Structure 1
């Protein structure tokens, strides 16, 4: 029987030297493959893993800017901008993620449902925060009464409450002892965070809304802007 060294091999040297040199031992398995193939396969699998991985949390907004709201009445709502110092006349503040856009509220809308300001994510327009206010409220009513009264002028809120899978409410106080009602509503395909308080004989309600897919993806950002709302100035 011929030995391994006397058998022709596809891996033998192509040297033309007259004196034969010893050949390196050859693998005995007929399924041996050169090294480049598993290397290429490893790269392909790694690329596939990267393409199918979920979005990184680094895509979330990392910076915010502070919005100053004046809660001006419809009668005094003379346009968008002007020379007034909004910071000096602000009645409330909240954080807005970088990249979000402001939706300009009309005078009619301000007069009918009390919407004072609104911002939205241009990539997911239904992901938004806005504030409404009502004059003539010296203190907060019971929690369920307040939420139902807010829904009277907000059809979307009515539908959300009616079809809610869960509705949680609680009372909180800030460092100055001011009371805030906080609501979290998990509805059909939508999530909402609401904070309500009274100051300067007005009721302020701050809303953060998002469709269910955006809520799951951006929950940290949405909770941040929800928690950033507070009233400012002398009370």
Structure 2
């Protein structure tokens, strides 16, 4: 660190200057007018706020509502393409600002029922998606439902097989509709799942994140998970 000096070293002074007696002068006192002192205080406080603010991913509270139509594979590409998706929506959920939509293929929709998917472009494994199956009038027992979902989802099979913990519970919304809620803590990955039946269909909403992203974005991911519901 550089050291500030108010005078050159004694060895560089002329002999006459070294022997002369120079009176010791006290530095003048500096006074700031009140507006300047207030400005400095405000500036320091602002700097402290900037330094202590959480990462943008945590501080973010902006979401967009996604309206899902749960169209069959036969109607995919036409149904809802030119129609008002909000008016024809069968379910909704929140999507964090900045996440991107992955377009689901007609083949994928027909094989495993995936209807919609969004992901964090900074970490594609951090995502949410919804699958649906037709022909379900009511929910089966919780363990049966989860095992049936895993039949067409290899990632879910692996997550369940290597889970450190798996918690499930049953909830009801204000209209009395039942939702099964699962939370799976696996090897390096966390998953939140919400399942319900409506309109003779079974809807399953998934929120997945690798362990580091789960620890960082837990509040956001739980909000996204809890935002899912059927409509209409």
Deviation at 1:230, TM superposition (A): 0.2
Task: Report whether the alignment pairs 1:56 with 2:65.
Answer: no
After TM superposition, where is structure 1 displaced by more than 3 Å over at least 4 residues in a row?
Answer: 9-16, 18-25
Number of equivalenced pairs: 198
In the alignment, which residue of structure 1 is the partner of 2:35?
none
Q: C-alpha distance in 1, partners of 2:215/2:12?
A: 60
Q: Superposition pairs for residues 205-216 of structure 1, below 5 Å?
A: 205-216=204-215
Secondary structure of 1:168 counterpart: strand
In the alignment, which residue of structure 1 is the partner of 2:174?
175
Q: C-alpha distance in 1, partners of 2:88/2:57?
A: 35
In the alignment, which residue of structure 1 is the partner of 2:21?
20
Where structure 2 has 5 or more consecutive residues not aligned to the other structure, the ranges are 1-8, 27-47
Secondary structure of 2:93 counterpart: strand
Q: C-alpha distance in 2, partners of 1:24/1:212?
A: 64
Deviation at 1:12, TM superposition (A): 11
Distance 1:198 1:21, change over 3 A: same
Q: Is the 8 A contact 1:80 1:104 kept in 2?
A: no
Deviation at 1:83, TM superposition (A): 1.3
**Computing the radius of gyration over CA atoms, which structure comes out larger, 1 or 2?**
1
In the alignment, which residue of structure 2 is the partner of 1:87?
86
In the alignment, which residue of structure 1 is the partner of 2:216?
217
Q: C-alpha distance in 1, partners of 2:13/2:171?
A: 82
In the alignment, which residue of structure 2 is the partner of 1:107?
106
Q: C-alpha distance in 2, partners of 1:109/1:202?
A: 18
* TM-score normalised by structure 1 residue count: 0.77
Deviation at 1:62, TM superposition (A): 2.1
Where structure 1 has 5 or more consecutive residues not aligned to the other structure, the ranges are 1-8, 26-49
CA displacement, residues 95-152 of structure 1 (integer Å, 9 cap, x when unaligned): 0011000000000000000000000000000000000000000000000000000000
Deviation at 1:23, TM superposition (A): 4.3
Q: C-alpha distance in 2, partners of 1:200/1:57?
A: 41
* TM-score normalised by structure 2 residue count: 0.78
